[in-house]
Amino acid sequence: MENTIHLFIVIPLVGFITSLLIPYKGEALISKVAFTAVGLNLMVCMAFIPIWAIQRFPALNIKDLSIYQTANYDFFIDFYFDEVSAIYLLVGAILTFLVTIYSRYYLHRESGYKRFFSTILFFYLGFNITILSGNFETLFIGWEILGISSFLLIAFYRNRHLPVKNAVKVFTIYRIGDVGILLAIWMSHHLWHENITFQQLTNYELVQKVLSSHYSLGIFISLMILIAAAAKSAQLPFSAWLPRAMEGPTPSSAIFYGSLSVHIGAFLLMRTFPFWEHQFLIRVLIGGLGLSTTVITSLIARVQPTIKSQIAYASAAQIGIIFFEIAIGLEKLALFHFAGNAFFRTYQLLISPSVVTYLIREQFYNFVPDTRKIKNNTYQKLRNTIYLLSLKEWHLDSVIFRFFFKPLKKTRKVLGFLNLKNLLYFFVPLYLGGFYFSYINQPASPEIRYYLAVGIAFLALLMVVKAFNERTSSRLAWLLIALAHFFIDLSITFNDQFNAEETFVYLSGVFFSGILGYGCLHKIKAFEHHGIGLNQFHGLVHRYRLIAFLFLLSSLGLAGFPITSTFFGEDIILTHIHEDQMVLAFIVALTFIITGISVIRIYARIFLGPHIQFFQEKPELTA
Amino acid sequence: MESNTISFDEQESIQRLRNYLPAQAVLKDFVHHNTLHAFQKLPFFEALKKASTIFGYRVTLSLEEFRTLFQKGQISEAILDQKILDKKGRAKFRYWKNSLLERDYNNVVSSRIGQLRENWKAFYKINLNKIVHPFLFRIISSYLDQGIAIRKFPLTGLEDGFLEALIELEKNAYSSLFKTRRAKTLLLDSDTTISSLLKILIGDESLFEQYLFDQQFAHPGWSGMVNNIEHNPNSLLDPKIVSLKDFILFELLLEIDALDQKLGENWEPLGYKIEEKPDELFSTIVSTELSEVLELWQDAFEWTYYDEVLAGVRAQTIQEKPKEKSFQALFCIDDREYSFRRNIERTDPNSETFATPGFFGVEFYFQPENSKFYTKACPAPVNPNYLVKEVARKSVHQKDFHYSKHAHFPIRGWLITQTMGFWSAFKLFINIFKPSISPATAYSFQHMDKHSKLSLERDSAQPTEGGLQQGFSIEEMAERVENTLKSIGLVDNFAPIIYIVGHGASSVNNTHYAGYDCGACCGRPGAVNARAFSYMANHPRVRALLQINGFTIPTTTQFLGGMHDTTRDEIEFYDEDLLSPANASLHTKNRAIFLDALEINAKERARRFDTINIKKSLKKIHEKVKKRSVSLFEPRPELNHATNALCIVGRGALTKKLFLDRRPFMNSYDYRIDPEGNYLLSILNAAAPVCGGINLEYYFSRVDNAKLGAGTKLSHNVIGLFAVANGVDGDLRPGLPSQMVEVHDPIRLLFVVEHYPEVVLKTIQRNKATYEWFINNWVHLAVINPDTREVSVFKGGSFHPYSPLKSELPQISEIFPFIENNQGNIPVIQTS
């Protein structure tokens, strides 16, 4: 029975790969493949869950292959199945099935039909991996897939400005969530000295024993989990991304941001509940965050004059309550609430265009004219203030910007000295020198080594910050990002015993994607007469479909997405940072986040957005 | 910094600006109009050049598209050659033909608009749109919102308008609309004007107007909507006072706010920074070779089709032999009704159908029972003096909790999501596998209840309501009946039953639903008018009065109202119980004919929907067609006016044996009873702007769906119940969504009038506004001489003989094989 779980991964995976192989115009075939995949998946799910229920809901753990193993490190794929997974699996299967059928007709003749279904299947794959994962590492694979497929679906109308801009924005917030997971994984390694499975977390005595001696490490991990959950589930202070994600075709908005994707944060909390259950502080924090989100987003929802943003905020408010329910230990209720909210918001979004017909008719028969008078007492003033603040979304949209991106952007001038020449003449020798010292002739003092590690990692951070801020040369930005990985490697080599094999695992992916990506950029630069600077969108995807796809792959590789060994490498890197080296861990994690954001930014700027010559797509059918 | 003599006249500049903004009304009153109405005073191609140069619109298909059409044979080479010869002469023929077919052109469309404002980025590294637009849009949409938000905009300031409401809000809140102080002070200062703000921002007065154009055309959707609501506040059920001036003023303040926040209060106005002034918007337009090439292509594309049509019309032999008619039926001028009429006449060759604007000449406001408002039941420009009320309605409106506001409150939402949420999953399931009519559907037959009564006859004791007279007097009725029947040439040979059939449409998840209903009834279903006309024409006292005027309708003849649902291809009749027993049994027979014709019509339409297998049985196809209208997931419930290309004004015999697909608007007309062209004038006065407007809106939405159309509807978000936008922060999207226009061939409308050219010429010259359509070639006009059957074409103010190049039309007896094997346009066919 346990092996059935694999089917939930295999079916969407096969569907996804098949959909990639179908030609662009094979609308009927694409829709058939998608239909078969999600239909089959639903059937297996419908058959599996009753059998599992008859066996009294056993919690299943399936340890799969170890992907990378050393003496004290084992990266293995693990699946876990309990009530929480069951509900998420079922709701996911039903909604994906219904929305897929819905979209088969809805997207008829839309250019990007294939892309849409491929992305939906990809998303669904990520969703299932996440909810069935048995350890953080497996979860992180699914988590990354969700992030990138969200990006692709929000930017579905890729030749328009706003969808692309907002896709990058949402990806950025997701990336902040990712670092939460990364750091949680990092600290977990040190806490447990192994890759802990979620099943082990349900072992009360084991958890208590470890936590009682490492109280602050436990709090740190829980906090990181909370950051990840809050970002993914549009809780404070991240809530403002949710309405902005509603740029794709309505069904995709419905299934992602109305239901499945946005409830993943709640899933993460339920999954890790046994870990933080006894950390009172964390429970208060989660409950409090949930409730404040409910209050704020409800206030915002009340003033929304557009239907999709209203539903988005109302949904975020309910997820706030779900957070609260989880915090006070009402897991069953939270699950029930999740299912109800997911179904409800999906349907609300799907029928949202009809709101005009319906409400206008209602108004036609029941209208009561506005008779409010202008009052200027304190109460009224307070109400107006709340109204105005809600209209400004309580500045949520700018909070993240102000505290995260503005400082980044400010460094632009400081980093002006980094250009292609300096990169070659200064950093490459520097790296070689470092390489010599780190691998061949290490300084003895651990203290010096640590400072060197921090210093070098900081250089890496500066490089990706520069890449993030780069406005003119896309190739420079790309090289900086690639080189930053080498510096991170160097830094860790100073810090700890980091052998050549591990370096190889980490850097081979970087090397390969770096070269491929550079090749793509080089080729495009040669074809295009004007430059491909990063201060504007170029929208070149329509001209270079294949190069765009290859570049996307290499971007993902460079960002440590689970398609190259760099993904494991990043994980290994973190295990070599000790639990008391918070600064180093922070710098490295920050470098990883900004790397992800920067490569996606490069991809978006060059390949997405409006193209100067490209006004509208020719209808693909003449009729 | 030199002083400039060009001064800025705020009033005048804003007036000019208004003219160019999109004029689309709110969603519920969707009325088609010429998208480039501002340029209508110019000849068509000149207008295109100007619009394209200034605003960067695409105004024709692209060169590539034309060349593809040519390769596919959809643009005839003979016509193309003729057009080149006509316009460029024999000497340059080779050059131009080569240009059309081979030469490469740089097809980057640049625009003058936006050049000035672009300088903010260059000189101050600031993207004002990015900072200002989202908040500006949120404020204005909250202010105008019709009922999406739960909390209304505080202090709507009904009497004083938008700016006053903002000032009140600014004064009565502990937080500000702005981020910096200066903007706030300026808002509260009563001396602040658009000019004074422009002085701060731009400085150089000669650039003010251009700046306003740049600024407002960065979001033409919103500016157009504000301008439109300013002039028709009552188009909103919950009226709002707003003005374009206030809106601009607020935007200028937000811009100052954004600049102050970035640069402090001491920055130099933009006008003093720029060294080289951008091109003036309205300076002379230089025509490019590419635009001339496209013009030739467009001409050839249009005339390839017109030529077939004119050949077909000319070839008809008209023998009038009065024949007993089994029944007669009046339909709307609408192109969607043409194919239905054709199918009726084919199903029952003894029947006769007519077409006239679908309000049937009776104009009034209609008030459904229990409603709080009136709806206009006549073309939008007409302002009726009459009110007709519905009484004794039987059906009730159903509710759908998914639209309930409660779900947006935290606690109630908590209850609702956990209970009703599961019901939603079930409903979604049902809606996907077995769609049916629901409260979310815009259902044409719901507009007026079949079993209700209408208060049509004036009771002199009854007072007027809101300045409107309730019902019509006998004289008023008689006048309308006579006018309508005479204008279509129905003056004798009356059949026992004359059907008056209005039309409406049904759809769900369709924000543009009003555009699918009857345009002559102001975007509402036409059932009320059909019923009203029948009532009037059946009235014994009306008949008596008509007889006195010499217009005799036999007493055995009865009129019967009905409505055709163009999406579902269903028909409903009203007041059937009033039929005489003899007529009732005839009606049963006729009804069957209507139903047969509807099924054939459904099949004919279905060939364009490539998700329906049209080789299936008629019944099955019809079922599928009906299902589309209630399917949430169907973005194309029907294709509306797509492919429209003609407007034929003449007797039925003119086209009786032609198959014109679904492309013509038609107005029945008999030149013999109108030698002076009086009826013709009123027909053209209505048809030119209405049909021309529809045609041009489809044209421009098709050629530039990104700027002049609404883009794909799949990502639309409903704003305040009055408009749609992309996503949450985007500008409003006027125009038609791509799903409505994708099968449309962008060609202008060709009017074909059956009369003597000299009469037609005199007639069109009588109304300046109508004449403008023809003389500037926004529509084409051809006249067929009833005696000689010669065709002449209106060009440069006079008629010129035209002999079609096409001599033979394909002849067929059975149309089905053609329908089944052609998804695209079907050429003109002679049927037997």
Residue type, B738: S
Whether residue A441 is found in the same domain as residue A337: no
pLDDT value for A616: 39
Please identify among residues 211-250 of chain B the ones whose CB lies closer than 8 Å to any CB of chain A: 237-238
Chain A interface includes B701 (CB < 8 A): no
Chain A interface includes B554 (CB < 8 A): no
Whether residue A289 is found in the same domain as residue A436: no
Tell me which of A358, A381, A402 is where a domain ends: A358
Chain B residues lying within 8 Å of A385, measured CB to CB: 173-175
Write out the two tokens for B226: 């504000």
Does residue B635 register a pLDDT over 60?
yes
Chain A residues lying within 8 Å of B109, measured CB to CB: 615
Q: Does any domain span residue A622?
A: no
Whether residue A344 is found in the same domain as residue A243: yes
Q: What is the mean pLDDT of residues B68-92?
A: 93
**Three-class secondary structure assignment of B118-187:** CHHHHHHCCCHHHHHHHHHHHHHHHHHCCCCCCCCCCCCCCCCCHHHHHHHHHHCCCCCCCCCHHHHHHH
Q: What is the mean pLDDT of residues B530-547?
A: 95
- Across the interface, whether the CB atoms of A613 and B418 are under 8 A apart is answered no
Pairing of strands B328-332, B352-356: parallel
Whether residue A301 is found in the same domain as residue A434: no
Q: Does any domain span residue A538?
A: yes
- What are the angstrom distances between the C-alpha of A20 and each of A249, B339, B479? 20, 43, 68
pLDDT value for A350: 93
Tell me which of A315, A331, A358 is where a domain ends: A358
Whether residue A426 is found in the same domain as residue A351: no
Instruction: Quick: pLDDT tens for A447-463.
Output: 888 888 888 888 889 88
Whether residue A428 is found in the same domain as residue A346: no
Q: What confidence tier does B701 reach under pLDDT thresholds 50, 70, 90?
A: very high
Whether residue A425 is found in the same domain as residue A344: no
Does residue A89 register a pLDDT over 70?
yes
Closest-CA distance, A340 to chain B, in angstroms, reads 4
> What range defines the domain where residue A204 resides?
4-358
Closest alpha carbon within chain B to A304: B149
pLDDT value for A71: 67
- Across the interface, whether the CB atoms of A381 and B371 are under 8 A apart is answered no
Assess whether the previous peptide bond of B384 is cis (omega < 30° from 0): no
Domain total in chain A? 2
Q: Shortest CB distance from B408 goes to which of A253, A314, A374?
A: A314
- Across the interface, whether the CB atoms of A314 and B172 are under 8 A apart is answered no
In this predicted model, which residue has the larger pLDDT, B815 or A285?
A285
Question: How many angstroms separate the CA atoms of A337 and A307, rounded?
Answer: 22
Q: Does any domain span residue A324?
A: yes
Residues B783 and B794: beta-carbon distance below 8 Å: yes
Q: What confidence tier does A438 reach under pLDDT thresholds 50, 70, 90?
A: low
Whether residue A446 is found in the same domain as residue A531: yes
Write out the two tokens for A287: 């409950």
Instruction: Quick: pLDDT tens for A321-335.
Output: 999 999 999 999 999
Q: Is A193 helix (H, G, I), strand (E, B) or coil?
A: coil
- Across the interface, whether the CB atoms of B135 and A616 are under 8 A apart is answered no
Closest alpha carbon within chain A to B711: A616
Closest-CA distance, A305 to chain B, in angstroms, reads 5
Chain A interface includes B730 (CB < 8 A): yes
**Is the confidence metric ipTM above 0.85 for this complex?**
yes
| Helices A27-54, A83-106: crossing angle, 10 deg rounding | 160
Does residue A236 register a pLDDT over 90?
no
Chain A interface includes B147 (CB < 8 A): yes
Chain A interface includes B107 (CB < 8 A): yes
Q: Does any domain span residue A615?
A: no
Chain A residues lying within 8 Å of B370, measured CB to CB: 365
Mean pLDDT of chain B: 91
Q: What is the DSSP letter of B440?
A: T
pLDDT value for A567: 84
Q: Which pTM does this prediction carry?
A: 0.93
**Whole-number percent of chain A with pLDDT over 70:** 96
Instruction: Quick: pLDDT tens for B614-633.
Output: 889 999 999 999 999 999 99
* Of B808, B666, B656, B686, nearest in space to B751 by CA: B666
Q: Does any domain span residue A69?
A: yes
Closest-CA distance, A226 to chain B, in angstroms, reads 22
Closest-CA distance, A176 to chain B, in angstroms, reads 23
Whether residue A344 is found in the same domain as residue A450: no
Residue type, B36: L
- What are the angstrom distances between the C-alpha of B781 and each of A614, B245, B798, B802? 35, 40, 11, 12
- Across the interface, whether the CB atoms of B718 and A309 are under 8 A apart is answered no
- Across the interface, whether the CB atoms of A307 and B717 are under 8 A apart is answered yes
Instruction: Quick: pLDDT tens for A110-137.
Output: 888 899 999 999 999 999 999 999 988 8
Question: How many angstroms separate the CA atoms of A596 and A63, rounded?
Answer: 29
pLDDT value for B61: 93
Whether residue A18 is found in the same domain as residue A162: yes
In this predicted model, which residue has the larger pLDDT, A615 or B447?
B447
Write out the two tokens for B600: 């054939």
Chain A interface includes B440 (CB < 8 A): yes
Q: Does any domain span residue A394?
A: no
Residues A100 and A117: beta-carbon distance below 8 Å: yes
Q: What confidence tier does B134 reach under pLDDT thresholds 50, 70, 90?
A: very high
Q: What confidence tier does B744 reach under pLDDT thresholds 50, 70, 90?
A: very high
Whether residue A78 is found in the same domain as residue A205: yes
- Across the interface, whether the CB atoms of B513 and A302 are under 8 A apart is answered no
Mean pLDDT of chain A: 87
Q: Is B668 helix (H, G, I), strand (E, B) or coil?
A: strand
In this predicted model, which residue has the larger pLDDT, B3 or A249?
A249
- Across the interface, whether the CB atoms of A314 and B407 are under 8 A apart is answered yes
Chain B residues lying within 8 Å of A117, measured CB to CB: none
> Which of A400-404, B608-612, B756-760 is least confident?
A400-404
Pairs of residues, one from chain A and one from chain B, whose beta carbons lie less than 8 Å apart: 319
Residues B247 and B241: beta-carbon distance below 8 Å: no
- Which of the residues B146, B153, B428 would you substitute to probe the A interface, choosing the one with the greatest number of A C-beta atoms within 10 Å? B428
Q: What is the mean pLDDT of residues B569-589?
A: 95
Closest alpha carbon within chain A to B438: A358
Chain A residues lying within 8 Å of B429, measured CB to CB: 98
Residues A230 and A166: beta-carbon distance below 8 Å: no
Write out the two tokens for B755: 């009369």
Q: Does any domain span residue A384?
A: no
**Whole-number percent of chain A with pLDDT over 90:** 44
Q: Does any domain span residue A393?
A: no
CB-side exposure of A520: number of CA atoms within 13 Å?
26
Chain B residues lying within 8 Å of A340, measured CB to CB: 417-422
| Helices A378-391, B162-171: crossing angle, 10 deg rounding | 110
Closest alpha carbon within chain A to B396: A365
pLDDT value for A617: 39
Whether residue A101 is found in the same domain as residue A27: yes
